[in-house]
Amino acid sequence: MDEPCLYEIRVEGQLSGRWSDWFEGLELRSERGETILTGVLPDQAALHGVLRKIHDLNLVLVALCRLPRPS
């Protein structure tokens, strides 16, 4: 069953926070030459949508982690 999950997605390069809306409202922050996108996505389709946008921008995906949701 698809349910909302918390994700951390790392890509090479630095994107400003103004991209947040385009990336499904994920929080963006820069760290050591990477951009870290963090937030809750409602289902796998939304995750695949974010990954498609990363691909469309020709960004290099460094890591994708599903994190435990805070209770």
CATH number of the domain encompassing residue 57: 3.30.70
pLDDT at 52: 97
pLDDT at 69: 76
Encode the chain (71 residues) as per-residue pLDDT tens digits. 578 999 999 999 999 888 888 898 999 999 999 999 999 999 999 999 999 999 999 999 999 999 987 76
Spatial contact of 46 and 3, defined as CB atoms under 8 Å apart: no
Count of other CB atoms within 10 angstroms of residue 31: 9
Only one residue has tokens 């289902």, namely 43
Residue 46: give the domain boundaries.
5-67
pLDDT at 35: 97
pLDDT at 53: 96
Q: How many domains does the chain have?
A: 1
From CA 32, how far away is CA 12, in angstroms rounded? 9
Indicate the pTM of the whole model.
Answer: 0.90
